Structure 1
Amino acid sequence: MRGDTRTLIPFVAMVTCIALAAGCQSTSEQTGSVDGTTIPWATVPAAQSGGGAAPHPPDPPPPTDPNVGPGSPGPPTPTTPGPTISGIPFFPHTALVTPPVPGVTASGVHVERHDGFDRIVYDFGGTYAPGWRAEYVAEATQRGRETATRINGRSILQIYFFDTDSSAESGIAAYNGPNPLSDPAAYSVVEVHLTPNYERGTQSFVGLRTDYPQFQVTTLTEPTRIAVDIHD
């Protein structure tokens, strides 16, 4: 009986080692982003970022002279240097004030199905688009929160919009449609989450049906919008 026990111990140890090796291999091959495991960065499309489309500020009005009536030429340009500062002459001039750039708010989002890709379109009131960064993340964690939001899908793409404002600051009505948003005609996009503006930033999390598909972010015009194309 003792001999059988000595024979059984090495056999059990060998089975245990095989099981542990199989378990380690399974863990290293996990790629899910929904359950918080490690993302295989070597096979994931790289992050993309861009400056959006800033508005062209209006030309400043020409300097006016209260002693000159409408339609009359303005004051002549001085040709003689004025007083000097530290021995350096300067020419008097009228300061040009550039008006501040108005803020924007995420006012709309929808999903479109195209041949070979799904397109997510973000609107910011149609005036101009903010800067952005798009990248895959392991979990959907909103700024200012400690717990992640559950996103349906096999992978999560985050689009972060910079320098956004609340509706009270920008005067643009914020998006108030379905959140998360889904479209039965979409192939890759399962759902789109859009977070409220927080500390001049807005996040969007996109749950995708497959593992880390290729994507492309572009700025559309007339009106100005940001489009995220998810390829099949």
Structure 2
Amino acid sequence: MNRIPPSSLRHPLAGAVALALVAGLTAGCTSSGTKEPGATPDPSVSASSESPGASGSASPSPSATPTPTPSPSPSLAGFSLADRSSRGWPDLSADLGVGREARVGQHTGYVRVVYEFTGSDAPAYQVRYVDQPVEDGSGNVSDVPGDVWLEVLVTSLGMPGESAPTPEDPLPSTLKGTGIAAASALWGGFEGVGQEFIGLTGGRRPFKVTTMTNPSRLVVDIAR
């Protein structure tokens, strides 16, 4: 009588179960050793290291640069169109010597004309707008360029001698862009009073007058 080997008596289901167990063990080893795409991030990575609002590869839009607000023009205190005279005008007690030079400088909001003399005292002055640049003494209309004119008068101004240097006028280059067409140095005085005119273009503009000493100077500031 032939014997059937024990292995051939195993139920087919038992073999299937054994195969399933082997497959499950193999799958378990794979999942514990390798991270799959989309796995939970390592908790050691701080969330604060992420850029807020960043998504994918999109570039952040640049922030708009604010347009600067223009600064208002500085207040020009003491400027007006009114005639200006020193206290006690005409005062003949000062000693201005003779004229040395006139110069023009540009500042924020105004243009400055400085008349300098060889003396040391504060000048006595009168500065005002006139309809025409009429010369004292002769009554002639002076040929001063400009649309309007500021008349500048100072007292106690001596007449320079024949050997005295000629007072220097402003350089033409310093007048560009100032609205001043002409501003000549005060030379000497007719009966002790020196007279000059500042020729302006573009109409009358507010102005103010100050004096300085050591050396004697008369300063006329004209709004731009």
Match of 1:48 in 2: 84
Q: Does 1:187 align with 2:182?
A: no
Structure 2's unaligned 5+ residue stretches are 1-79
8 Å contact from structure 1 (residues 129, 219) kept in 2: yes
Decide whether the 8 Å contact of 2:149 with 2:197 is kept in 1.
Answer: yes
Deviation at 1:221, TM superposition (A): 3.9
Q: TM-score, normalised by structure 2?
A: 0.54
User: Which one-letter code corresponds to 1:207 in the other structure?
Assistant: G
2:101 is the alignment partner of 1:108:
yes
* Partner residue of 1:149 out of 119, 133, 142: 142
Which one has a bigger Cα radius of gyration?
2
Contact residue 188 and residue 231 of structure 1 kept, 8 A: no
Distance change >3 Å, CA 182–CA 172, structure 1 → 2: farther
Taking the TM superposition and a 5 Å limit, the aligned residue runs for 1:83-102 are: 102=95
- Residue 51 of structure 1 deviates from its aligned partner by 4.5
Looking at structure 2, the residues matched to 148 and 180 of structure 1 have their Cα atoms a distance apart, in angstroms, of 24
Give the equivalent residue in structure 2 for 1:207: 199
Q: What does residue 197 of structure 1 align with?
A: 189
Q: Which residue of 1 aligns with 2:21?
A: none
Q: 1:120 to 1:191 in 2, by over 3 A?
A: same
Q: 1:224 & 1:176 partners in 2: Cα distance?
A: 14
Shift of residue 149, structure 1, vs aligned partner: 0.9
1:153 Cα deviation (Å)?
1.4
Report whether the alignment pairs 1:165 with 2:170: no
Are 1:218 and 2:213 matched, yes or no?
no
- Number of equivalences: 140
The answer (yes or no) to whether the contact 2:99–2:187 under 8 Å persists in 1 is no
Among all aligned residue pairs of Structure 1 and Structure 2, give the percentage whose two residues are the same amino acid: 26
Q: 1:130 maps to what in 2?
A: 123
Report what 1:30 is aligned to. none
- When normalised by structure 1's length, the TM-score is 0.52
